Amino acid sequence: QTRTAHLQAIDAAHHIHPFCDPKSLAERGTRVITKADGCYVEDSDGNRILDGMAGLWCVNVGYGRQELVDVAARQMEELPFYNSFFQSSTPSQIALAERLSKITPGDLNHFFFANSGSEANDTVIRMARHYWHLKGKPEKYKFIGRHLGYHGSTLAATSLGGMKHMHDMGSSTLPGFEHIMEPHWFAHGGNLSPEQFALRAAQALEDKILEIGADNIAAFIGEPIQGAGGVISPPPGYWPEIERICRKHDILFVSDEVICGFGRLGEWFGCQYYGVQPDIMPMAKGMSSGYLPISAVAFSDRIFETLNEGGPISHGYTYSGHPVSCAVAHANIDIIEREGLVERVRNDIGPYLQSGLAHLYERHSIIGEVRGAQALAGLQLVRSRDTREPFAAEDNAAMICRDICLEKGLIMRAVGQAMVICPPLTITHAEIDEMIDKADAGLREAASRLGL
Ligand code: PLP
């Protein structure tokens, strides 16, 4: 038995995988990833694969950063753990909170630390409700999210998100969460121009507010670009209109920056790309480039002051502000800044990637639409571009395309009927060329296998 087969057998016997098809796992086994460097991962059979997904939308500075290893080792030697509950802090927590305050927009100056995007969003829910309670408006507790929004997998984050397949899992949702249409022009735009559709999609928020009453609503939450929903980027005009509606009805505006933060859209945060200013901003993933788990929630001055008036915040995780994760996140932000990765995305690799994808669009009618912005992209696969006819679910079009690309040495993710791309921000032109070439060959083969 090969090492791979041995590991796969143990994995199949004992390891439960999130979001994987058990039948496919049983038939083909798991792919065992053993090491990584730069933009490439390597599997247990020695195949080098270009990672077009930055791990899971997170390895913004690429793999193999010895500097982050050294920082983690030093922090572990000095102080591997201390909590933030006992009116106590560690230097790395303090430094990270200050560092974040320098890159977050506006007055988002106060940070609560957690370990994952899901925990960050649970924190958002509890704190926003607490805020309104302290303001004397306890009935303002509902949240409005969007269909195909993804905010995590805890019970509350699942409820906040708009993923039907997650809600359906034993009715695992809580009351108090409402969802509006996602701003998906290709799916819902009909004959409207993108700009007209942007206003219509934003109007769905006001309609929902009027339906359930602003007095009952704590906040609206959205990802600047919906990642796990298939990289759904709203047409121009959508976000400013959403912000205006939130302000008009006195509803907190939450921008979930778990994917879009830390340079992905050529700004430190996705809300800056769209020119809007949230009241609360959860972040994770690119915050440490995935080297260690850490997340944070940024709060505005106004919210922080109100929360403080309420006395102790009865909310926290053992590993809130884990000193090693904080030290690594801080060093990771240093790398992003030192290497100018935010500007690099904006001026160089973002446009370069998007022009490569435009080239794919010209060559492949199986691509109905290229979505996203800068270093985040989605290719909507369709049976017919002209009529926007989708593939049937049982065609498994995106999964077929993903598997073919993987065979060719490129990781892309299949989400619904879209192929998703989110590479490390350090990716070179040559690596983007390789990605486009492999996707080109993969799309051609997939189209032929799907009878086009
Ligand atoms: N929010 C967004 C926008 C995400 O994309 C994700 C994860 O993909 C999460 C929250 C949840 O983060 P985590 O998986 O770290 O809990």
Domain assignment present for 21: no
Of 338, 356, 379, the residue that ends a domain is 338
Residue range(s) defining the domain that contains residue 372: 31-61+340-449
Q: Cα separation of 288 and 291, whole Å?
A: 6
Compute the distance between CA of residue 17 and CA of residue 51 in angstroms, rounded to an integer.
20
Q: Quick one: which of 353, 30, 62, 57 has its CA closest to 227?
A: 57
CA dist 363 and 368 (Å) reads: 12
Q: What is the DSSP letter of 346?
A: I
Ligand 1 and 118: CB distance under 6 A = yes
Q: Identify whether 20 is part of a domain.
A: no
Identify the pLDDT of residue 230: 97
185 inside domain: yes
Positions of E strands within 158-259: 177-180, 217-222, 252-255
CA of 151 to the centre of ligand 1 (A): 5
Rounded to whole angstroms, the Cα distance separating 19 from 53 reads 16
User: How much is the pLDDT for 54?
Assistant: 98
Which helix H or strand E contains 172, and what residues bound it? none
* Shared-domain flag, residues 252 and 264: yes
pLDDT at 171 (0 to 100): 76
Whole-number Å distance between alpha carbons of 151 and 292: 19
Residues 134 and 163 in one domain: yes
Helix (H) or strand (E) segment spanning residue 397: helix 397-407
Residues 318 and 392 in one domain: no
> Residues 248, 357: one domain?
no
pLDDT by 10s per residue, the chain, length 452 = 899 999 999 999 999 999 999 999 999 999 999 999 999 999 999 999 999 999 999 999 999 999 999 999 999 999 999 999 999 999 999 999 999 999 999 999 999 999 999 999 999 999 999 999 999 999 999 999 999 999 999 999 999 999 999 999 987 799 999 999 999 999 999 999 999 999 999 999 999 999 999 999 999 999 999 999 999 999 999 999 999 999 999 999 999 999 999 999 999 999 999 999 999 999 999 999 999 999 999 999 999 999 999 999 999 999 999 999 999 999 999 999 999 999 999 999 999 999 999 999 999 999 999 999 999 999 999 999 999 999 999 999 999 999 999 999 999 999 999 999 999 999 999 999 999 999 999 999 999 999 99
- Out of 338, 373, 407, a domain closes at 338
- The beta strands (E) that lie in 355-394 are given as 367-373, 376-381
Instruction: Please check whether residue 7 lies inside any domain of the structure.
Output: no
Closest by Cα among 117, 422, 106 to 275 = 106
| Angle, helix 238-248 to helix 194-212, in steps of 10 degrees | 20
Task: Give the N- to C-terminal CA distance of the chain in Å, as an integer.
Answer: 40
In a shared domain, residues 185 and 333: yes
How many domains does one find in the chain? 2
Write down the pLDDT at residue 172.
Answer: 79
Nearby residues of 272 by Cβ (< 8 Å), 6 or more positions away = 105, 265
Q: Assign residue 410 the CATH number of its domain.
A: 3.90.1150.10
Is 299 in the same domain as 327? Answer: yes
Domain boundary among 290, 306, 338: 338
Q: Which are the contacts of 90, defined by CB distance < 8 A and separation ≥ 6?
A: 79, 82, 84, 321, 323, 326
31: CA distance to ligand 1 center in Å? 22
Q: Are 222 and 146 in contact (CB under 8 A)?
A: yes
Strand residues in 301-343 grouped as ranges (E): none
The candidate with the shortest Cα–Cα distance to 125, out of 336, 263, 297, is 297
Nearest atom within ligand 1 for CA of residue 256: 3
Ligand 1 neighbourhood includes 422 CB (under 6 angstroms):
no
Q: Which pLDDT belongs to residue 329?
A: 99
Q: Give the gyration radius of the chain's Cα atoms.
A: 22
Which of 150, 232, 281 for mutating ligand 1's site (highest number of atoms within 8 Å of CB)?
150
How distant, in Å, are the alpha carbons of 150, 258, 361 from that of 205?
A: 17, 22, 32
pLDDT of residue 170: 83
Distance of alpha carbon 115 from alpha carbon 135, whole angstroms: 28
ipTM of the complex: 0.99
Q: Give residue 419's pLDDT.
A: 98
Going by C-beta distance under 8 Å and a sequence separation of 6 or more, which residues neighbour residue 131?
218, 252, 303, 306, 307
d(CA 382, CA 108): 41
Residue 117 CB–ligand 1 contact under 6 Å: yes
Clarify whether residues 323 and 414 are in a common domain: no
Cβ-count burial of 339 within 10 angstroms (0-12 exposed, 13-18 middle, 19+ buried)?
A: middle
Give me 97's structure tokens: 């909170």
The answer to whether residues 172 and 285 belong to one domain is yes
How many other C-beta atoms can be found within 10 angstroms of the C-beta atom of residue 309? 9
Regarding whether 348 and 322 lie in a shared domain, the answer is: no
